[in-house]
Structure 1
């Protein structure tokens, strides 16, 4: 199942710099593991924002929830999930 996910990060301004650096490093490592595993095939930064647009390829909404809630930045995110379906005018099966 494919899901379009928008993630907006809202870190507290008074967050300890060491905690921030550790959290961001853990987030990067975790997200890269998911990308290498094929669960997170598309990740784009939204220019000018601490936000991204992603596509997840998972077996279920429950799996997506588990992956998202395990993100180290999850407590500081607003997340919007949209399930995706194949469009009838699509020419190819390749995700671009």
Structure 2
């Protein structure tokens, strides 16, 4: 199943900058592994915000939930999820 996910990161005031840099590095490593696995298919930065728009390809809602809550920065995120399905006019066969 494909999902459109918007993740807005809100860093709390007073957050230890060293710890936050460690979390960002762990987040990047996790993201890149999920991208190599084909689960996190696309990611785009939202201009002017600490935010991204992503496309996930997972088995079901539960897998997406588990994946999102496992992200190191999840405690600092506001997440919006929209389920997607293939448009009948799409020319791409991988739009499942």
TM-score interval for Structure 1 and Structure 2 normalised by the shorter chain: over 0.9
Partner of 1:40: 40
Shift of 1:88: 1.8
Matched with 1:62 is 62
Residue in structure 1 matched with residue 79 of structure 2 by the alignment:
79
Gap regions ≥5 residues in structure 1: none
Cross-structure match for 2:20? 20
Q: TM-score, normalised by structure 1?
A: 0.94
After TM superposition, what 4+ stretches of structure 1 lie above 2 angstroms from structure 2? Answer: none
Aligned pair count reads: 95
Root-mean-square deviation (CA, aligned residues, Å) is 1.0
Normalising by structure 2, what TM-score? Answer: 0.94
- Give the Cα–Cα distance (whole angstroms) in 2 for the partners of residues 2 and 13 of structure 1: 34
After superposition, give the CA deviation of every residue in 1:24-44 in whole Å (9 maximum; x if it has no partner): 111111111100110001010
1:11 aligned to 2:11?
Answer: yes
Q: Secondary structure at the match of 2:40?
A: coil
- Show structure 2 runs of 5+ residues with no match: none
Counterparts of 2:37 and 2:91, CA distance in 1: 26
Where 1:19 maps in the other structure, the secondary structure is helix
